[in-house]
């Protein structure tokens, strides 16, 4: 089964194709309630009610090159197979919120994997997009915001390889500090 970070990559790529200028990833680990929650919010073109009602089916896509879209249906399936659930809310011209909740301790829950690599890959390919990543574990949390980074680095472009490398290290160190469950 693929890592959750790869699901995140798929879902964020949907947001990018929907012309989002701001995308937020929120991961919440609630050990007491045995929940591992991933929420992705964007301000893209959204979906109307009719499309939204059928979007979790694998045969729904707006792609012209093939007629299956798997990103959303696979994430939903994975969440449900690990004792969790999936929700999607969207509004035309406003944006979309996707939530996948897994049982934290379920043996079928995929590992989070290389979320720092996924985030820096997305930032490098889409430097104009405002990305936020908030990871909460119990009482600790780590907040990462590309607008803050851009202010810090001033005239150096955020997609510069040295910056991306430093950001990846920064994210990994912070995840380590809050004892985030990556593996
Ligand atoms: N964040 C979003 N905003 C607007 N529309 C979306 C968003 N996410 C998905 N969609 C719509 O839902 C469809 C299905 O998405 P899904 O990720 O399941 O498949 P896909 O992106 O079409 O193909 P694949 O993910 O397999 O490459 C998309 O084609 C798009 O029309
Ligand atoms: Mg997709």
Ligand 1 atom 9 nearest Cα: 14
Q: Looking at residue 1, what is its pLDDT?
A: 61
32-41, 65-74, 81-90, 142-151: lowest mean pLDDT where? Answer: 65-74
The CATH number for 4-177, chosen from 3.40.50.300, 3.30.565.10, 3.10.129.10, 3.40.720.10, is 3.30.565.10
Ligand 1 atom 27 nearest Cα: 69
Closest listed residue to residue 6, CA positions, set 177, 158, 122, 144: 122
Ligand 1 close to Cβ of residue 61 (< 6 A): yes
Parallel/antiparallel/unpaired status of strands 140-145 and 130-137: antiparallel
Q: What is the pLDDT of residues 44-87, one digit of tens each?
A: 999 999 999 999 888 888 888 877 778 999 999 999 999 999 99
Q: How far is the CA of 161 from the centre of ligand 2 (A)?
A: 27
Q: How far apart (Å, rounded) are the C-alpha atoms in residues 130 and 5? A: 19
* Ligand 1 atom showing the smallest separation from residue 73 Cα: 18
Contact 42, 109 (CB under 8 A): no
Question: pTM of the full predicted structure?
Answer: 0.96
* Ligand 1 atom showing the smallest separation from residue 15 Cα: 1
CA triplet 109, 112, 116: central angle to 5 degrees? 170
Within 13 Å and on the Cβ side, how many CA atoms surround 47? 20
Contact 178, 141 (CB under 8 A): yes
More confident position, 67 or 182: 182
Contact 31, 138 (CB under 8 A): yes
Q: For the residues 120-126, what does the mean pLDDT come to?
A: 98
Q: For the residues 110-115, what does the mean pLDDT come to?
A: 98
DSSP string for residues in 85-149: EEEEEEETTTEEEEEEEEETT-TTSPP---HHHHHHHHHHH-TTSEEEEEEEETTEEEEEEHHHH
């Amino acid at each position: 089964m693929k890592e959750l970070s790869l699901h995140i990559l798929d879902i964020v790529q949907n947001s990018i194709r929907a012309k989002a200028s701001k995308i937020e990833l929120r991961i919440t680990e609630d050990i007491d309630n045995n929940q591992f929650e991933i929420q992705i919010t964007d301000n893209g073109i959204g979906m109307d009610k009719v499309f939204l009602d059928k979007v979790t089916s694998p045969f729904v896509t707006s792609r012209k090159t093939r007629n299956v879209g798997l990103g959303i249906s696979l994430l939903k399936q994975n969440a449900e197979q690990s004792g969790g659930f999936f929700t999607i809310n969207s509004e035309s011209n406003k944006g979309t919120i996707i939530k996948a909740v897994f049982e934290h301790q379920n043996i079928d829950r995929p590992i989070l994997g290389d979320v720092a690599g996924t985030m820096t890959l997305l930032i490098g390919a889409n430097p104009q997009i405002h990305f936020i990543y908030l990871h909460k574990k119990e009482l600790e949390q780590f907040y990462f915001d590309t607008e803050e980074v851009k202010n810090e680095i001033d005239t150096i472009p955020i997609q510069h390889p040295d910056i991306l490398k430093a950001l990846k290290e920064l994210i990994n160190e912070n995840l380590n500090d809050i004892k985030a469950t990556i593996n």
